[in-house]
Structure 1
Amino acid sequence: MKVAKFGGSSVATAEMLKKVADIILSDPERKFVVVSAPGKRFEGDIKVTDLFIELGQCYVKDESIEPALNRIIDRFHSIIDELNLNEKMLDEIEKSIQHILEADNFSPNRLDALKAMGEDSLAKILSEYLKSLGKQASYVNPKEAGILVSNEPGSAQVLDESFDHLYALRDREGISVIPGFFGYTKLGELMTFPRGGSDITGSIVAAGVKADLYENFTDVDSVYCVNPSIIKHPKEIKKLTYREMRELSYAGFSVFHDEALIPAFKAQIPVCIKNTNHPEKPGTMIVSERDATNGPVIGIASDTGFASIYVSKYLMNRELGFGKNLLEILVDEQISFEHAPSGIDDMSVIIRENQFPQDKEKRVVQRIREELHVDTVSVERDLAMIMIVGEGMNSTIGVASRATEAFARANVNIEMINQGSSEVSMMFGVKSDKLVPAVKSLYETFFK
């Protein structure tokens, strides 16, 4: 039994949906299908989810909703028309949108309900298209499926009892088409996962029905060992572990949301990333364990948009609770930290710049000075993080040496280094404008 998830680029047009249907019907083991909202059809296009967000913002600001609404309806109309489906579906989509907008209060979860319309509508369209091909298929709402989530608009997390509910879906006849990206609280309120959350739904469903394989169809033949926009024609990764994929996806790999694999990982379900346009290709397998036969490093991930808060205080190591008190200030200010490398008398906290506007920076720095009585506190912005990842690193001598030599050859200064306790990854902080030469030099070192 397989769960197949199709991303936004795979369901962007009627032509792509026909390919999706062919893939589903080519294998009777693909009994469960999870879909995203229609994505970009071409460079510069707008994702349907972004159009729904724009629609909600216009409504809240009491601005005209017609431009955004018309673009949404046009997107779905073209898909429904080209698939020769009943246009009553289009009326139902528009009525659902109006129902959400005209609810008594436009609270955060109402905006979630609007954002989820892309996935929900597309799932209904795909199930109807499969029926039109003479196949037994049904749309399954996440509430009916039993996907229960926490009450956190835009950042919901699945509740454990969901998996028991989902197991009952195994008894359903035919193909079940489930919209990704959202679930329901125990009180029946719709909540969405973070952006990219359809991957999370796919993983949840795979774990719940105890699938033999979770297939994630996207627009690439496989996972590459480095960002193809930095290195042309990089090497493909044929097999990697859950831990490696999570590290890579967290640190800038766009194939998966960094939370997506957790349910599949816990249930020990293998994952295969495949290309909707080339379904015959093997793709990349993500498994619990693999032989480290292809070198210590399997991938290089990178991302920009980081800042560092540096704190120094003499005898910091003898002060009980200093790190806790520093992080509590960040908690108070609604800032999550990414890394926290430290020394005897100093400590750095790496955060995302988008959580740290200038007014918040001023307040945080002042609180650190006044509450922790530090000798030095400073903020450095415009940082990039580069991460080398591989299960083989913990048993190979000289990986750090080879990496730092690569930075030196590229004439890139390392601002900070941090190695995870699992020894699956090693992180380097550099200035954002040095990211590309650093990544190129690392690729030469570990893959050529």
Structure 2
Amino acid sequence: MRKFYALSLFTSACLYLTTFAHALDVTLRWNAVNDPSPAGYRIYYDVDSGPPYEGQGALEGNSPVDVNPAMDENPDPAVTEFTLHGLSYNQIYYLTVTAHDERNSESTYSGEVDNDSNDDAIPDDIVEISSSFYDTSLETLEVVATSSDQPQVTMTAEGLGALNWKSRLNFYRNTFSGVTRLPATLTVRSSGGGSDELDFTRDDVIIGAVTYDFENDTLQVSATSTDQPDVTLTAEGFGNLDWKSWLSLYRNTFHSVSEKPSSVTVHSSGGGQATKTLAQDVVTVMTVTYDDVSDSLEVSATSSEQPNVKLTAEELGDLEWKSWLSLYRNTFYGVSEKPTSISVYSSGGGQATKTLEQDVVTIMSVRYDDQSASLEVSATSSDQPEVHLTAEGFGNLDWKSWRSLYRNTFYGVSEKPASITVYSSGGGSATEQVP
């Protein structure tokens, strides 16, 4: 469970001229924080409105000025007061206050005030978030707030719902369920026009070891959080990590992870998150051999993480590990045409693509005889005679070894075609006009 500071300046800066010429003292008062008590406060000031506050010139030091609670100048325990001395008399200063704990985790800025007006610029309805409790195990967020016009106004936690008036406790409160992750900012608004905002300090998440087991299809993830063990850590897409008190970290092993992910992201219920990119294996396609006689394609490949990964030829199937050759290989049948390329994917995340050279087809001659309604086509291939040549729309050409070419005469061709295209099982093709 975590608690967060919330404070606001409830009056404007109180101004007092000192006895020094051209010097100005500015006194600030704000609501003291008592539960939990802060290690200290910081006063930020500058001559420009809004952060960053980088003012200089106060006798107490440049912005920000550290204020120990023991330095409180106001006897009222509910109010903290401190004075900056020696500022320039004719200069407008903008001031704000934060609280911090012993780890130096700092609250958001309080409302800003300045020394240019007697009006404190705060709405008639002054809203203050008193405390906020987030329970990671129950996934609940408790919000407590007050208003200067209570109980006549209604109070709403933005994105969560209404706060209920607790007359015996003299504040508004509600516990909201189903809050799976701490929001970055909590805003409480009043029907009286006022509002207050609380920025949550997010925890820092560090992903330790991420180990993928290719043989068992498991992924082990370990991580830590600056707010452990009070937060829940979740590996995105996989599940929660378990707290291991004896190791002082969170860890879990996830099963049925068929492929090594490219990265793992861990989210914390405390708002933090971290992402770790996993190295992918290097895949190399060694050889691709196509046999058009048996309509088979042999593919061999290697991986930088062999033999602990699985290699798959896209649209064909898995390659088998050949330990005596130190590579993966398989022969796939029923491949009617030589593909233009082969892609091999690894379960380790890597992949490689090899482009296959196509044979060069040349149409040697085309003769059309209108008397016999026949068409004679002859052609060659740079991969002959291992390939098959086909005249589109007519049929296969026969290999003529004594002429070192392919040829066929097709009958029943009643009209002379304008052109002829010949395709090769080696991937090449050629088109010629019919004379």
Query: Could you say which structure has the higher helix fraction?
Result: 1
Relative to the length of structure 1, the TM-score reads: 0.21
Query: Could you say which structure has the higher strand fraction?
Result: 2
Higher RCO structure (Cα 8 Å, ≥6 apart): 1
Relative to the length of structure 2, the TM-score reads: 0.21
Q: Which has the larger Rg?
A: 2
